Structure 1
Amino acid sequence: MNWEQLLSLKRYGDKNKRLRKEQDETRLGFEVDYDRIIFSSAFRSLQDKTQVIPLSKTSFVHTRLTHSLEVSVVGRSLGRVVGKKILEKHPHLSTIHGYQFNDFGAIVAAAALAHDIGNPPFGHSGEKAIGEYFKTGRGKQYKEQLTPKQYQDLIDFEGNANGFKILTESREGIEGGLRLSYATLGAFMKYPKASLPKKPTSHIAHKKYGFFQNEKIFFDEVAEEVGLLKQNIKGETTYSRHPLTYLVEAADDICYTIIDFEDGINLGLIQEEYALEYLIKLVKETINTTKYNQLTTTADRLGYLRSLAINTLIQEAASIFIDNEEKILSGTFDTALIDKSKYDAQINDIIKISIDKIYQSQEVTEKEIAGYEILATLLDQYCVAADRYNAGEASNYDKLILRAEGHNFDYQNEEVYTRLISISNFVASLTDGNALLKFQKIKGLKI
C-alpha cells in the first residue's frame, strides 16, 4: 500500500480526481467528513445509547456519543503524532502532493467519531440480541430463504457493518449517504471482509466483518480506490486493513480501557483506593507525586491519572505504529497496536476488573436481559407484518404496525434479505429510550 493512494480525497460520485495541493485549507475535505458525521441524525442518536450501563440515567455514565467524541479527540492526537513522523519519512507526500500532518489527524478523528455509529441500543448485547433472534428465535425460519452469507449477516449482526451502511447508503434524494472521503471510509473499515468465512485467520482484521452483502459493491470500490491489498482466503476475497484503522482502533481501546474504568469508580462499582492503585501503575513513569498528593477529591485525582494514562498510551501506540509501518503497509501486522504495548499487563489488569465489576455487574446484566426482550419483540412484530404484507395476508393489526413504522424500513421489498436487513437496521438505529417506548406501546403498556 502507498500513502498517496491511502489518503484519497475522492467521494462517491466524483468524476474528477481531488488533489490535496488544490484543497481549500479553510475547508479541508477530511475536516468536512468530521462535520458531516457530527451533524448526522445517526450520530446525534448516540446521546441516548449508553456506553457501559444500558438505560442508566446517572450523569456520571458515558453515552455512546460522549465516548465517540473522546475517541475522536484521542484519534486526532494519534493521527497527528503519526502523521508528523510519516511526512518526515516520506517527504514527497508533503513537498509534491501537499499533505500535512494534520491531515492524518483529521482522517483518524472523523473515522473515530463514526466508529460506533452503527451500534444498536443496549450496548454489545444489542448486537447479540438481533443476531440471536435470527439464529435461535423466530427469525430462524428465514434461513432457507437466504444465501449462507446473507444469513450470517443476520445471525452475527455487526455494528461495524451497520455503520458502513449508515455512512454510505443511498436514499431517495441522497446519493452516497454522507459522501465521506474514501480515506475516511477506509480508516473506518475495521474488518475489511464479508461475514463468511468467519474468523478465517487469527489476524485482527478477520475478527469480525465489515459490510452487509447489499453494500459489497461499494465496499470493494472504496477498498480498491485507497489501494487496500486484496487477498484470497478460503476462496473468498478479503482486504488488508487501511493503516489508519489501527489508530482508530487504538483510540477506542485507550478510551474504553481508561474511561469505562473511570465510570465504574464514579458509580461506586469499583473501590476508589483499589482502582487508583491500578491507574498509578500505568503512569508510574510520568506521575508527579507531589502534585498528585495535593489533590483532595476523587474527581481531581481521577482526572489527573486519566489524563496521564491517555497521553502515555497515545505516545506508546504512535511509537508502535511507526516502528511497524512497513509491516502495516504490507498487511502483515496482525494485532492491535495496544496488544504490543509494554503496558499490556497493566491494561489487562484494568480490563479484567472492568469486566468483573462493571460489564458483569447486576445492574448491567438485568438491563441487558430487558434489552433482549425489547429488541426481539420489535423485530418479530416488524418482520411478521412485512412477511404477511408481501404474502397478501396482512391482518388489520399488521397494517397498523406498518402504518405506524413502515416508513422507517423497506417492508415492501420482495427480496427477503433486503427486508430483513432494513428492519434490523431500523431497530439498531433506535436509542435505548426509544426502543423501550416502542416496546411499551406494542405491549399496550403505554398509549
Structure 2
Amino acid sequence: MQWESLLSLRRQGDTNKRLRIEQDETRLGFEVDYDRIIFSSAFRSLQDKTQVIPLSKTSFVHTRLTHSLEVSVVGRSLGRAVGKAILEKYPHLKSVHGYHFNDFGAIVAAASLAHDIGNPPFGHSGEKAIGAYFANGNGKRFKKLLSEKEYQDLVDFEGNANGFKILTETKNGVEGGLRLSYATIGAFMKYPKESLPKKPTTHIADKKYGVFQADTSFFKEVAKELELLKRGDAKNCSYSRHPLAFLVEAADDICYTIIDFEDGINLGLIEEEIALEYLINLVRNTIKTEKYNSLTKSSDRLAYLRSLAISTLIGEAVKTFIDNEEVILKGEFSEGLLKKSNYKAQIKDILKISIQKIYKSDEVIEKEIAGYAILESLLDVYSTAVENIMKGEEREYDKLVLAKTDILISENSVYQNMLECCTYISRLTDGKAMQIFQKIKGNV
C-alpha cells in the first residue's frame, strides 16, 4: 500500500480528484470530517449510551460520547506523532503532495470519534441481544428467506459494520451519509471484511467484520480508491487494514483499559489502594515519585497516574507503529499495536481485574439482562409489523408502531427490511429504547 493513495481526500459522489496541495488551510478536508461527525445526530445520541454500565444513572461513569471524545484526543496524538515520522521517511508526501503531520492526526481523530457510532443501546450486550433474536428467538423464522451471508449479518450483528452503514448510507434524501473522506472511512474500518467466513485467520483484521451485505458495493469502492490489499479468495470481500486503523484501535484500547478501570474505582467496584498499585506498575519507569507523594487527595493521585499511563501507552503504540510501518503497509502486521507493548503484562493485569470487578459485577449483569428483554421485545414488534406489511396483512397496530420510525420498507427484500429494523433500533439511546419499550407494554 502507498501513503499517497491511503491519504485520499475523495468523498462519495466526487467527479474530480481532491488534491491536498490545493486544500484551504483554514478548513482542511480531514478536519471537515471531524466536524460532520460531531454535528451528526448519530454521534449526539452517544450521550445516552453508557460505556461500561448500561442504564447507569450515576454521574461518575463515562458515556459512549465522552469515551469517543477521549479516544479522538488520544487518536489525534497518535496520528500526529506517526505522521511526523512518516513525512520524515517519505519527504515527497509534503514537498510534492502538500501533506502535513496534522493531517494524520485529523484522520485518526475523526475515525476515532466515530468508532462507536454504530453501537446499539446497552453496549456490547445490545449487539448480542439483536443477534440472539435472529439466532434463537422469533427472528429465526427469517433464516430460510435469506442467503447465508445475509443471515450471518443478523445473527452476528456488528456495531462496526453498522457504523460504516450510518456514516455512508443515503437516507432521508441525504446522499452518501456524512460524505467523509475515503481516508477517514478507511481508518474507521478496523475489520475490512464481510461477516463470512467468520474468523478465517488469527489476523486482527479477521477478529470481527466491518460491512453488511447491503453495503459491500461502496465498501469495495473505498477499498479500491485507497488501494487496500485484497485478502482471502475471490469469492469473499476482505481487505488489509488501512494502516491508520491500527492507531484508531490503539486509541480505543488505551482509553477503555485506563478509563474503564478509573470508572470502576469511582463506582467503588475496585478498591482504590489496589487500583493505584496496578497503575503504578504500568508507569513505574516514568513516575516522578516526589510529585506523586506530594498529592494529598486520592483523586489527584488517580488523575496523575491516569494521565501518565495514557501518555506511556501512546508512546508505546507510536514506537511499535513506526518500527513496523513497512510490514503494516504490506498487510502483514497481524495484531494490535499494544500486543507488542513492553507493558502488555501490566495491561493484561488491569483488564483482568476490570473483567472480574466491573464487567461481571452484579449491577452490569442485571442491567444487561434488562437490555436483552427490551431489545428483543422491540425487534419482535418492528419485524412483525414489517413482515405483515410485506405479506399484505397489515394491522392497525402495525401502522401505529411504525408511524414514528424512519424504517424504510422494501417490497421484496426481507434482508433489507430486517436490517432496517436492526439499524433503527441501534440508533436508539438507552433511555429512548426504554421509553418505547414501556409504551409497547402499555405503561404510558
**TM-score bin (small chain):** over 0.9
Partner of 2:96: 96
Is structure 2 residue 381 aligned with structure 1 residue 381?
Answer: yes
The superposition leaves residues 24-60 of structure 1 with CA deviations (integer Å, 9 ceiling, x where unpaired) of 0000000000000000000000000000000111110
Q: How does 1:13-412 map to 2 (within 5 A)?
A: 13-233=13-233, 235-405=235-405, 408-412=406-410
Shift of 1:234: 8.0
Shift of 1:414: 2.5
The superposition leaves residues 329-366 of structure 1 with CA deviations (integer Å, 9 ceiling, x where unpaired) of 00000000001101000000000000000000000000
The superposition leaves residues 259-315 of structure 1 with CA deviations (integer Å, 9 ceiling, x where unpaired) of 000000000000000000000000011111111111122211111000000000000
Q: Which amino acid aligns with 2:417?
A: R
State whether residues 389 and 412 of structure 1, in contact with CA within 8 Å, keep that contact through their aligned partners in structure 2: no
Find the residue that maps to 2:238 and give its secondary structure: strand
Shift of 1:71: 0.2
Q: Which runs of 5+ in 1 are unaligned?
A: none
Q: TM-score, normalised by structure 1?
A: 0.98
State whether residues 108 and 187 of structure 1, in contact with CA within 8 Å, keep that contact through their aligned partners in structure 2: yes
The superposition leaves residues 48-77 of structure 1 with CA deviations (integer Å, 9 ceiling, x where unpaired) of 000000011111000000000000000000
State whether residues 358 and 364 of structure 1, in contact with CA within 8 Å, keep that contact through their aligned partners in structure 2: yes
Once superposed, which parts of structure 1, at least 4 consecutive aligned residues long, lie more than 3 Å away? Answer: none
Task: Tell me the matched-pair count.
Answer: 444
Q: Which runs of 5+ in 2 are unaligned?
A: none
Distance 1:375 1:434 in 2: 11
The superposition leaves residues 120-143 of structure 1 with CA deviations (integer Å, 9 ceiling, x where unpaired) of 010100000000000000000000
Partner of 2:430: 432
Find the residue that maps to 2:163 and give its secondary structure: helix
Distance 1:186 1:412 in 2: 29
Shift of 1:185: 0.2
Distance 2:65 2:231 in 1: 35
| CA separation of 1:288 and 1:191: change in aligned 2, threshold 3 A | same
Q: Could you say what the CA RMSD is over the residues aligned between the two structures, in angstroms?
A: 0.9
State whether residues 112 and 251 of structure 1, in contact with CA within 8 Å, keep that contact through their aligned partners in structure 2: yes
State whether residues 216 and 237 of structure 2, in contact with CA within 8 Å, keep that contact through their aligned partners in structure 1: no
State whether residues 223 and 239 of structure 1, in contact with CA within 8 Å, keep that contact through their aligned partners in structure 2: yes
Distance 1:403 1:35 in 2: 31
Distance 2:272 2:376 in 1: 38
Q: Which amino acid aligns with 2:210?
A: G
Distance 2:204 2:377 in 1: 34
Shift of 1:87: 0.4
Identity across matched positions, percent: 70
Shift of 1:412: 4.6
